[in-house]
Structure formats: structure tokens, C-alpha cells
């Protein structure tokens, strides 16, 4: 029977960490312990890069309190990597798997990790080596295809919403000194994280007042007009913007080519002195004469556990557990997906998507989540995203400011 394939399991974590990625790792370890077919559980130290150096650790020798402690520990406990695997590397991976009798391979990661897992599964099939490969989704960018959302996004979105609420109140209080705050979020090609700032907004006065995402072309003249009009109405402007917004020539706004580097997969990374928000701050100052500040939470949003989403934790664990269960049952070459249940009350189950359909494919923010002007987010997005944040966001108040009559001229 397919479920009786005996051997060891290897699990790895790859790409940018999240606040809940270790929940998936713990689930893999704990679920594997329930199945006699899985004889050993090994961890790849720093992802596939460590695997190529045969850098493996025996996770079953870890103390149970350590494994349990990972549930409250951010980032990737095994260590991560951004390594682009070569054709020769794949042969090496299969050799290592043979040497250690690895029959189960679980990779926790994003787009590129799903591609790596897919190619490993292909090679094993070509070489007639029985190996079951499963991908576990992970990315705060929320841009993996064929899943309703990604573990890691709910917590990062909660952080961005809370940061917007709090710094928005700060700007409102300091508007006689500051005119504009520009919050820049991560997100390589999709605007899911920038859009999450909108969840902070409950009234016209609340931040954010403007939101710009890469799914719409950015027009500088329209942006300046939006800022000018909002400042005229309120006296202050809070802007949320994705680092990946692009102009009419499809160039990333504010990109200084001399300061742009690329990782192993060709993904561009910019220095702290360049980038979208700094460019927007400069043109707001130069062309509108307004004082602007830049807010770049960057990695803080990715790993901040103090405002983690409880559903995010549960679903990260669920995907890891499901990956092992499906592999033992004989499934291979799939990524576990999150499937939202219909109905007024939020619920989520898991499904499966072929790795080849997920690999290197971006899930973009749907157009119905963006307003007609392209400078804001619609209520349809709130209905989608708010349940992913878990506990309700706080409610802030404003003084009614009953004036004391003046007695002097």
C-alpha cells in the first residue's frame, strides 16, 4: 500500500521568515511522530543550501519543551536561505536523499520554494526513486496562487493595521508640525500588505487617507493632486504605499539603479536611502511644500509576534500537519492550500494544489479590492482580510472639544 512507504522525513524552511512559520515546522514534527512509516525526522539547516552541504539535524532528539517553545518563537528556527538551485544541485539533493533513506520531503516557503520542491519531485519521479514531496505555504506577501491566503499574512497585516492606527493618531496630533506620513510596506509584486493598512480606517479622518498598490499604474501628477486635496480638507495626510508600485514605463517608483541589488532569483532589493517612500517624500516636499515623514517597518512587520494573529497561528500549524498526513497517504507534488468555508462566520479548511501550478506564479490583489481612482481600497477587501487578523482591532476615540468661550480680544 502507498501509505506503507517507510523512510525518513526531511523538512526545511526557505525565503523570508514570518511570525508563524515555526507553527508549520512544529506541526510537521508532531504529525510525523504519529506515523510508523516515518522513521526519522531531519531538519535542513538553512534550507536547500544547507541540504546541499548535507547539513541536517535530528529533530527527534530535540527536547519536547524546545519544540513546544517554537510555537512562541518568530522567524525560521531551522534557518532560511535564498539559494537558486542548479540542475547539478538537484542530482546532489537526490543523492543525499538516497544516502539518508529520505522518502518524505516537506518544504515550507514561498513561490521559489514551491518551484524547488516541484523540481525535486520531478527528478525523483524520473529516476524512479519513490519520494513524496509536499509544499507548505509561507509568505507575508500573500501572493501564492491557488490558496485563499498564506500563513504569515494575517499576522503581518495585523501589524500594519495597528501601526497605521497608532502612527495615524500621532500624525493627527502633530499636524501643526507634520503634514504627511508615508508608510511603505514590503511586497514584491502584489499589494496585499499595503492594502492591509486600510483595515485601520473607520472614518474619513482615520489613517490611511491614500493607498497605492502595484496592481494599478502609479501617476505622479495624480498622486500630488490626491495629497494636495486631502491636506486641504483635513490638514494632514497618511499615505500607505507598496514598495513595488510602478509608473507608466513599468519602472518601480523611486528606483535608483545604482543602489538596487538582486538576490539569487533576480528579485530586486533597494537600499534604505532609496526606494518608493523616500522618493514620494521628496516630491511632496519639493512640489507641494509640505513636510513629510517616511515610515518603513520592513522586517519588523514580518516577524513581530506581540500582535500575532491567532487564526494565522492555527492555520500555519494546520498546513504543516496536513502536508505530512497527505504525504503518508501517498500524495506527492502538491502544496497544501487554505480554503475558506462559505457562510457568514469565518472558517478555513485545507486543500491541495499541484506544485507546478503554484511555482513562480504571483496572486495579485483583485481589481475589485481597489477603488476607481487607484488611490484607495474598497470595503470588499475588508470583508476578505479582517477575519485573518483574529482579535478585533482596538477602537480609538476623539475628544469632542467643547470650546470655552474666549474673554479677550
State mean pLDDT over 328-347: 96
Q: How far is CA 337 from CA 136, 310, 327, 369, in A?
A: 8, 18, 14, 22
Q: Residue 269 has what pLDDT?
A: 55
Q: What is the DSSP string of 263-290?
A: -TT--EEE-TTSSHHHHHHHHHHHHH--
Contacts 24+ apart (CB under 8 A), 244-247: 244/187, 244/188, 244/189, 244/190, 244/191, 244/214, 244/276, 245/212, 245/213, 245/214, 245/218, 245/276, 246/214, 246/217, 246/218, 247/217, 247/218, 247/219, 247/220
pLDDT in tens, 13-52: 999 999 999 999 999 999 999 999 999 999 999 999 999 9
Say which residue, 188 or 118, is predicted with more confidence: 118
pLDDT in tens, 184-214: 999 889 999 999 999 999 999 999 999 999 9
Maximal C-alpha separation, the chain: 94
Q: How confident is the model at residue 262 (pLDDT cuts 50, 70, 90)?
A: low
Is 2-151+306-358 assigned to CATH 3.40.50.450? yes
256 catalytic? Reply is no
Ramachandran quadrant class, 306 (left: phi over 0; alpha: psi -120 to 50; beta: rest): alpha
State mean pLDDT over 120-148: 97
Could you check whether 2-151+306-358 and 158-301+365-388 share the same CATH topology?
Answer: yes
Rounded distance between C-alpha atoms, residue 48 and residue 217, angstroms: 36
Superfamily of domain covering 158-301+365-388: Phosphofructokinase domain (3.40.50.460)
The domain limits of the chain are 2-151+306-358, 158-301+365-388
Sign, CA dihedral 375-369-388-205, equals positive
pLDDT at 129 over 50: yes
pLDDT at 274 over 80: no
> Could you tell me if 390 and 311 are in contact, meaning their C-beta atoms sit under 8 angstroms apart?
yes
Q: List b or e across 228-255, with b for residues whose CB sees 16 or more CB atoms inside 10 angstroms.
A: eebbeeeebbbbbbbbbbbeeeeebbbb
Task: Count CA atoms within 13 Å of residue 31 on its CB side.
Answer: 23
Q: How far is CA 393 from CA 151, 161, 387, in A?
A: 19, 8, 11
* DSSP bridge partners of 309: none
Average pLDDT, the chain: 94
Sign, CA dihedral 312-317-321-327, equals positive
pLDDT at 3 over 90: no
From the centroid of its chain, how far is CA 73? 17
What cell numbers appear for 69 in the block? Answer: 517553545
* Range scoring the smallest mean pLDDT among 259-268, 300-309, 340-349: 259-268
pLDDT in tens, 61-106: 999 999 999 999 999 999 999 888 999 999 999 999 999 999 999 9
Q: How would you classify the pairing of strands 268-270 and 260-262?
A: antiparallel
Rounded distance between C-alpha atoms, residue 276 and residue 249, angstroms: 15
> Could you tell me if 193 and 140 are in contact, meaning their C-beta atoms sit under 8 angstroms apart?
yes
What cell numbers appear for 233 in the block? Answer: 480638507
Helix 310-328 crosses helix 153-173 at what angle (to 10 degrees)?
170
- Active-site choice (89, 115, 141, 226): 141
H or E stretch at 37: none
- CB neighbours of 143 closer than 8 A, spacing ≥ 6? 110, 111, 150, 187, 188, 189, 190, 192, 362, 363, 364
Q: Residue 7 has what pLDDT?
A: 98
Amino acid at each position: 500500500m502507498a501509505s506503507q512507504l517507510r523512510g525518513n522525513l526531511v523538512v526545511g524552511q526557505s525565503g523570508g521568515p514570518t511570525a508563524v512559520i515555526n507553527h508549520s515546522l512544529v506541526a510537521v514534527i508532531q504529525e510525523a511522530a504519529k506515523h510508523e512509516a516515518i522513521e526519522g525526522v531531519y531538519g535542513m539547516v538553512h534550507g536547500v543550501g544547507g541540504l546541499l552541504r548535507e547539513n541536517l539535524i535530528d529533530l527527534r532528539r530535540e527536547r519536547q519543551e524546545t519544540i513546544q517553545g517554537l510555537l512562541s518563537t518568530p522567524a525560521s528556527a531551522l534557518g532560511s536561505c535564498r539559494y537558486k538551485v542548479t540542475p547539478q544541485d538537484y542530482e546532489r539533493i537526490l543523492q543525499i536523499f538516497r544516502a539518508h533513506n529520505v522518502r518524505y520531503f516537506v518544504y515550507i516557503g514561498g513561490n521559489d520554494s514551491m518551484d524547488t520542491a516541484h523540481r525535486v519531485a520531478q527528478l525523483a519521479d524520473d529516476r524512479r526513486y519513490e519520494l513524496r514531496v509536499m509544499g507548505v505555504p509561507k509568505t507575508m506577501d500573500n501572493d501564492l496562487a491557488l490558496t485563499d491566503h498564506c500563513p504569515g499574512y494575517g499576522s503581518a497585516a495585523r501589524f500594519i493595521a495597528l501601526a497605521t492606527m497608532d502612527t495615524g493618531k500621532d500624525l493627527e496630533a502633530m499636524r501643526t508640525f507634520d503634514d504627511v506620513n508615508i508608510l511603505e510596506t514590503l511586497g514584491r509584486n502584489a499589494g496585499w500588505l499595503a492594502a492591509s493598512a486600510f483595515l485601520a480606517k473607520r472614518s474619513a479622518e482615520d489613517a490611511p487617507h491614500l493607498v497605492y498598490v502595484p496592481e494599478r499604474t502609479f501617476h505622479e501628477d495624480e498622486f500630488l493632486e490626491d495629497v494636495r486635496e486631502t491636506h486641504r480638507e483635513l490638514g494632514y495626510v497618511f499615505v500607505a504605499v507598496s514598495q513595488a508600485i510602478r509608473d507608466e514605463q513599468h519602472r518601480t517608483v523611486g528606483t535608483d539603479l545604482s543602489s538596487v541589488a538582486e538576490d539569487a532569483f533576480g528579485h530586486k532589493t533597494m537600499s534604505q536611502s532609496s526606494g518608493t517612500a523616500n522618493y514620494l517624500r521628496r516630491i511632496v516636499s519639493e512640489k507641494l511644500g509640505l513636510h513629510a515623514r517616511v515610515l518603513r517597518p520592513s522586517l519588523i512587520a514580518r516577524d513581530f509576534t506581540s500582535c500575532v494573529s491567532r487564526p494565522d497561528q492555527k492555520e500555519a500549524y494546520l498546513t504543516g500537519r496536513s502536508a505530512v498526513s497527505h504525504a503518508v497517504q501517498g500524495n506527492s507534488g502538491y502544496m497544501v492550500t487554505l480554503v475558506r468555508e462559505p457562510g457568514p462566520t469565518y472558517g478555513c479548511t485545507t486543500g491541495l494544489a499541484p506544485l507546478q501550478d503554484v511555482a513562480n506564479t504571483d496572486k495579485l490583489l483583485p481589481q475589485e479590492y481597489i477603488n476607481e481612482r487607484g488611490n484607495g481600497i474598497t470595503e470588499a477587501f475588508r470583508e476578505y482580510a479582517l477575519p485573518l487578523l483574529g482579535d478585533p482591532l482596538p477602537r480609538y476615540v476623539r475628544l469632542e472639544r467643547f470650546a470655552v468661550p474666549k474673554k479677550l480680544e
